[in-house]
Each structure stands twice: as structure tokens, then as C-alpha cells.
């Protein structure tokens, strides 16, 4: 007895393509909304920084330590806000593939490629730059955080979006660590 192979009909293939297109459109819309919200939060943060500067102008001018720290914050805010924005874009774009958890080294490579594509003289991005950019996002309550999986090896992952609401137990961290050790594709 031979078993007959059943093939999909044309209508099933068309429906499958339509579903994929609708999903892609919804994902694109979601990413655009998140991007707009993040841009808006950055604008609000910059406005608050300007308000602070106006309110405390006399103190900033007279206190050299405060002035140095404030200027450092302003300079870094521009770089780290830009990095944070790119980190958010990459994290949201890869969420379907990695479930909202991405290894910082993988994120750093993707971020460096994106920066290199934007400018021929882009600055080298370190893991610490990403950590500070995520901290900048954290002040904006954007839903991103750093998760340390293996303290001994300082293995860190960015947790994004809805996944950031989850707190990982020791067992779940062990699963993530095991996935890393075995070379599971999501954690390469």
C-alpha cells in the first residue's frame, strides 16, 4: 500500500501568504508605534533637562563640579540616547526570533554594523556603552533591562519589551546558561 501525499491547494497557499503579510504589517505598525513612543520620551527627557538647566542656571554656573557633571550628562545623553534608540530598534526587530532576550555581544555586533552603515567614521561601541544606553532607556521607562546570567563569566543579556516584565528564577537563568553553552541558535 502506498500512502498518498496530500499537497496544499492554491487557496491554502494564498491564505498562508495573506496571513504572513498581515502579520508583517502588524509587526511593522507595532515597531513604528514603539519607535514613535521612544522618540517622544527622548524629547520629553531633553525638555526636562533644559528645564533643569534654566531653573538651576546660577548653581550650574557657580559650582564647577555640578557644571562638569551636568555637561558630561548632556554630552553623554546625546550619544547614549542615540545608542539606546538603536538598541531598542534592534531588540524589537529581533524579538520574534529570540523572544525578547538577546546576548549583549550579539547586540553589540548588530549595533556596530548599523552604526558603520550610517557613518564611515563611527565610534566603536563597547558592551559598557550598551549598558549605559539601556540605563538611559530605563530612566525613560522603555521596558529594557540587563540580565546577568552567569556572574562568573559576566554573561549578560538584554531583555526587552514584554519580556522585561518577567523576572527570571534561578532555574530559568540556568536554562539560559545551558542554552548558551550548547550553542542554541537564539543565544549564539
Q: Is the pTM of this model over 0.85?
A: no
Domains of the chain and any CATH numbers: 22-187 (1.10.10.10)
The percentage of residues in the chain with a pLDDT greater than 70, rounded to a whole number, is: 78
Residue bearing cell 546625546: 78
The mean per-residue pLDDT over the stretch 82-98 comes to 83
* Residue 101 CB-half CA count within 13 A: 25
- pLDDT reading at 188 higher than 60: no
- pLDDT reading at 150 higher than 80: no
Indicate the pLDDT class of residue 3, thresholds 50, 70 and 90.
low
Phi-psi region of 154 (alpha: psi -120 to 50; beta: other; left: phi over 0): left
Which H helix or E strand runs over 182? helix 170-182
Q: What is residue 166's DSSP assignment?
A: P
Could you tell me how far CA 16 lies from the centroid of its own chain? 30
The mean per-residue pLDDT over the stretch 73-99 comes to 79
pLDDT at 109: 92
Which residues lie across from 147 on neighbouring strands? 157
pLDDT at 15: 84
pLDDT at 110: 92
Dihedral sign for Cα 20, 26, 29, 30, please. negative
Q: How far, in Å, CA of 94 to CA of 161, rounded? A: 11
The mean per-residue pLDDT over the stretch 16-30 comes to 85
Which H helix or E strand runs over 145? strand 145-150
pLDDT at 183: 64
The mean per-residue pLDDT over the stretch 164-184 comes to 68
Amino acid at each position: 500500500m502506498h500512502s498518498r501525499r496530500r499537497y496544499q491547494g492554491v487557496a491554502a497557499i494564498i491564505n498562508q501568504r495573506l496571513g504572513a503579510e498581515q502579520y508583517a504589517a502588524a509587526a511593522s505598525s507595532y515597531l513604528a508605534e514603539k519607535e514613535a513612543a521612544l522618540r517622544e520620551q527622548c524629547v520629553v527627557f531633553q525638555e526636562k533637562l533644559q528645564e533643569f538647566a534654566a531653573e538651576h542656571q546660577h548653581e550650574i554656573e557657580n559650582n564647577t563640579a555640578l557644571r562638569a557633571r551636568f555637561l558630561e550628562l548632556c554630552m553623554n545623553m546625546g550619544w547614549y540616547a542615540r545608542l539606546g534608540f538603536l538598541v531598542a530598534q534592534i531588540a524589537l526587530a529581533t524579538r520574534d526570533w529570540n523572544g525578547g532576550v538577546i546576548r549583549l555581544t550579539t547586540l553589540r555586533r548588530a549595533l556596530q554594523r548599523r552604526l558603520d552603515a550610517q557613518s564611515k567614521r563611527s565610534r566603536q561601541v563597547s558592551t559598557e556603552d550598551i549598558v549605559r544606553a539601556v540605563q538611559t532607556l530605563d530612566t525613560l521607562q522603555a521596558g529594557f533591562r540587563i540580565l546577568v546570567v552567569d556572574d562568573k563569566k559576566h554573561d549578560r543579556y538584554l531583555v526587552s519589551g514584554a519580556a522585561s516584565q518577567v523576572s527570571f528564577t534561578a532555574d530559568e537563568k540556568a536554562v539560559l546558561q545551558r542554552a548558551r553553552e550548547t550553542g542554541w541558535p537564539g543565544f549564539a
